[in-house]
Amino acid sequence: MRALDHVVVVDTETGGLDPLHHSLLSVGLVSGDGTRTLEFYVLEPTLTTDERSMAVNRIDLDRVRAEGLSPEEAVDRIEKFLDGIGRGRPLKAAGHNIAFDIAFLRRLYRMAGRDFPADFAHRTIDTHSLLWALAQTERLPKDVVSSDKAFAHFDLAPPDALRHTALGDAVATHQLLQRLLALLG
């Protein structure tokens, strides 16, 4: 889909809701055309989590410790992925409640001593906002604004084993974004 040429869908799984306090644990990316994906764990110097978030994302912290990339390595991996898209930078980040994911990516870039805006545009695309607008104009049911309800409505839900994984949610959000654009078209 050409409308998504300069877009990358982002999802993060985190140790909690506060990017000033909680750790970024994994990142999932999908190119706008859907042909490229990336997922990896992030090993911050100190892992800070809360029970509620860990119950949702089910991430094994021992696996993060064993396989996680340092913040510098993680940003290198993101930059290599973005280079592979071949659309130049900055790219627009898209996601469900994308401000949350961007806040954690900014944390990652700060930890790596890198400039976040060089890779990502200051404008973003938020599927939650699109769902809300479509619901307000009665093009979608009013309750289809959460990712769970939207994935179910459009029959896009990832298998349970992939739900609330960074890549599983990024792939489903990419598909959701395509469906929403078709509704708007």
> Which mean pLDDT values do the consecutive 10-residue runs of the chain (185 residues) have?
86 97 98 96 98 96 98 97 87 97 97 90 96 95 94 91 92 97 90
Residues listed for the chain: 185
Cα 64 to chain center, whole Å? 18
The 10 Å Cβ neighbour count of residue 122 is 10
* Amino acid symbol at 150: A
Tokens for 80?
A: 């290599």
Cα distance between residue 23 and residue 98, in whole Å: 17
Burial call 61-72: b when 16+ CB within 10 Å, e when fewer: beebeeebbebe
* CATH of the domain spanning 2-184: 3.30.420.10
Cα distance between residue 68 and residue 65, in whole Å: 6
**pLDDT at residue 86, as a whole number:** 78
**pLDDT at residue 161, as a whole number:** 85
DSSP state of 44: -
Domain ranges of the chain: 2-184
Tokens for 149?
A: 């309800």
**pLDDT at residue 158, as a whole number:** 86
**pLDDT at residue 89, as a whole number:** 83
